[in-house]
Chain A
Amino acid sequence: MNAQTVLGWAAFGLYAAATFAAFGYLFSKDSRASRMMLALLVAGVVLHAAGFAARTAAFWAFPENRFFLPVSSYYGALSYMALALAGVFLAVEGRKRLGILGAFVLPWATLALGAAVAFARPDAGSLEPNLRSYWLNLHPLVLMTAYAALANAFGVGVALLVQERQIKSRKPGELCYRLPSLDELDALNGRVIAFALPLLLLGLGMGLIWSYRVWGSPWAAEPKEILALVTAGIYGIFLWLRYGAGQRGRRPVLVSMGGFVLLLATFFGAELMSGRHGYLGGR
């Protein structure tokens, strides 16, 4: 085992522990669990970033790989997404009252990094000549950042549905007082998606430009491309419902959550059917 693998597993362990602490805080009312979650998460992010740096160093040992980031493989994309997820969570929700959203967001970071360390092999080899393009190196980077933000928004959406259910039931429990208010959750969900959708479109656009340069056509109509476009469309519909049609709360949030389900299908499901984007095939 080399340094990057050890750091990857250690960060995964810390994310998993932070997720446990987050659930501990959700179901108990012990604020120490929330502080513990933040401490574990910060430690995890630090180790994860160190692991990412170590991996980049190993990647750059191949002169032709400089100065691309190791994000074009399945491992690289997942690992970067987990890092961005945790980072976005710390930036957006790590503030005091929103720490409770950890239980809704951190499982995604843990799963993403877990899938990376357990199933994907680190990209230690030479980068394929086709992929040596800054457009293409930025393409997964930008997309994974958008994914991370959208996963955060999904967590916020789940919290909103839980809170809405609580208030509608007329028997709100302890949880109701500890979750942020419906208005705050709604605003946060909308703002994060409004930030992520342009990134998503930018990332897709970069893919199109690269594809045009290498293959002469921007669009191959393969499953991953189609799904990605539909996903962006659904988030577009959400933004229109939320900011254009003056809807709030449950209904638009359900639409945005549908977008996230498609996002997962795009990232994981389309693997099986996609040629150009087949990480698992090692292409």
Chain B
Amino acid sequence: MRLLSLSWSHRSSPPAAREALACVPIERVLAELRARGVGEAVALSTCNRFELYAAGAPDAVKPAEKFVAFLEELAGASLAGAAEAREGREAARHLFAVAAGLDSLVLGESEILGQLKAAYEAAKSAGMTGKRLNVLFQRALYVGKRVRSETALGVGASSVPGVAVHLAQSIFGRLEDKSALVLGAGAMAELAAKHLAERGIGRLSVANRTWERAYALAARFQGEVVAWENFPAELERADVVVASTGAPRAVITRALVEDAARRRGGRSLFLIDIAMPRDVEESVHALDGVYLYRLEDLEALVARGLAQRAEAVAAARAVVEDKAAEFQAWASSLASGRELSLRHSAGTAAKTA
């Protein structure tokens, strides 16, 4: 059999080409292909990529240039230079890598799996898939699920704010009903406020020595402003505190935290100190239910997360490689008339109907 794939992705092609392709509904692509006598084809269209897979008997699949010309006609734009064409095992490997999230902007994200499934189902209901593409796409979905369940791809955070939010979730679970206090209004404070707001923190307040700057920062993220003198009282309400002031000595002292803890009803307090010199007295970490993380603690976690991610990518690539070779062996067995059976790990044979 012959398998051909064409891709325009965020890695390889300029946005203009992808934009033009994104405007063409895949139903139309499939209908036009059928009108031109193409037997088996699947089209995948997302914000980051456009891909076309075609398969058939060796002489039934047209060369890549024909498909590119056809898509240029549909999209009304020049696409040739930006296209990546793959054949056979390369094409299968690429599809499996896409399914695994290895080709995504956010490594290992799982949305692509749903998009892939939708694209396959659209082609299937249009009657554009036969045995070859059915097996190929079912294998791709299987590889995508398997990589996510067996490797740590897409797990863990790889930035300081990401790690901090992860920790907050390990302490509090949902952040929607929690409140955060940001001390300081500099660049780091702003970054922290932005991440907390993005992750859906329930309530955000900002305290800064200069009231105007606190106000400006709070306004940007629908937060509240707390007068600097009142921030100790705010320690009683806040669950997450990010300290990033330019103060020469610690502003959150052990005495302040002990005092607040007495009125917190046992709720945990997560303090993040990203100021230099330090904003929070180190000894508060020894208090029950108080967790103080300093910048270097978070950085160490980021470094470890990155190392684990590299390992996970290698493991995911190995699965993709292995399954692409297996698919290739199956595809060549079709010609010989003695078809191999493909098995999922659970022992269920892939549908070969």
Contact = CB atoms under 8 A, between A and B. Distances in A.
Contacts of A181: 169-173
Nearest to A170: B297
A167 B155 contact: no
A13 interface: no
B268 A249 contact: yes
B152 interface: yes
Nearest to B265: A246
B291 interface: yes
A175 to B, nearest CB: 10
A276 interface: no
Contact of A171 (B155, B171, B266, B300): B300
B156 interface: yes
A251 B287 CA distance: 12
Interface string A135-173: 000000000000000000000000000010011101110
A31 B145 CA distance: 11
B149 A30 contact: yes
Interface in B129-163: 149-152, 155-156
Given A30-B150, A177-B166, A248 B267 contact: yes
4 cross-chain pairs, A with B, having the tightest CB-CB distances, nearest first: A248-B266, A181-B173, A246-B265, A31-B149
A103 B150 CA distance: 19
A150 B91 CA distance: 56
B289 A167 contact: no
A29 interface: yes
| Residue from B166, B167, B293 whose CB has the most chain A CB atoms within 10 Å | B167
A70 interface: no
A246 B266 contact: yes
25 contacts: A30-B150, A32-B149, A32-B150, A163-B170, A166-B170, A167-B291, A168-B291, A170-B293, A171-B301, A172-B301, A176-B170, A177-B155, A177-B156, A177-B170, A179-B170, A180-B173, A181-B172, A182-B268, A183-B171, A183-B172, A184-B173, A246-B266, A249-B266, A249-B268, A249-B288
A165 B171 CA distance: 12
Interface residues of A, number: 26
Contacts of A170: 293, 297
B238 to A, nearest CB: 15
Contacts of A176: 170
Interface of A: 29-32, 163, 166-168, 170-172, 174, 176-177, 179-184, 246-251
Given A30-B150, A167-B171, A249-B289, A183 B297 contact: no
A260 B308 CA distance: 38
Contact of A248 (B156, B268, B293): B268
B114 to A, nearest CB: 18
A249 to B, nearest CB: 5
Contact of A167 (B150, B151, B170): B170
A174 B309 CA distance: 12
B291 A247 contact: no
Q: Report the interface size class on chain B.
A: 20 to 34
Contacts of A29: 151-152, 155
B297 to A, nearest CB: 5
B288 A183 contact: no
Contacts of B167: 167, 172
Contacts of A184: 173
B99 to A, nearest CB: 17
B63 to A, nearest CB: 42
Nearest to A174: B152
Given A181-B173, A183-B268, 12 more contacts: A163-B170, A167-B291, A168-B291, A176-B170, A177-B156, A177-B170, A182-B171, A182-B268, A246-B266, A248-B266, A248-B267, A251-B288
Contacts of A30: 149-150
Nearest to A187: B173
Interface in B248-276: 265-268
Nearest to B312: A29
B301 A247 contact: no
Contacts of A168: 285, 291
A246 B262 CA distance: 9
A245 B285 CA distance: 22
A123 B166 CA distance: 52
A166 B297 CA distance: 13
Contacts of A251: 288
A248 B149 contact: no
A3 B253 CA distance: 68
B112 to A, nearest CB: 19
A15 B155 CA distance: 30
B261 to A, nearest CB: 11
Nearest to B270: A167
A147 B217 CA distance: 53
B297 A248 contact: no
Contact of A182 (B149, B155, B172, B285): B172
A178 to B, nearest CB: 9
Contacts of B173: 180-181, 183-184
Contacts of B169: 181
Contacts of A179: 170
Contacts of A249: 266, 268, 288-289
A23 B266 CA distance: 31
A282 to B, nearest CB: 48
A189 B156 CA distance: 27
Contacts of A31: 149
A247 B149 contact: no
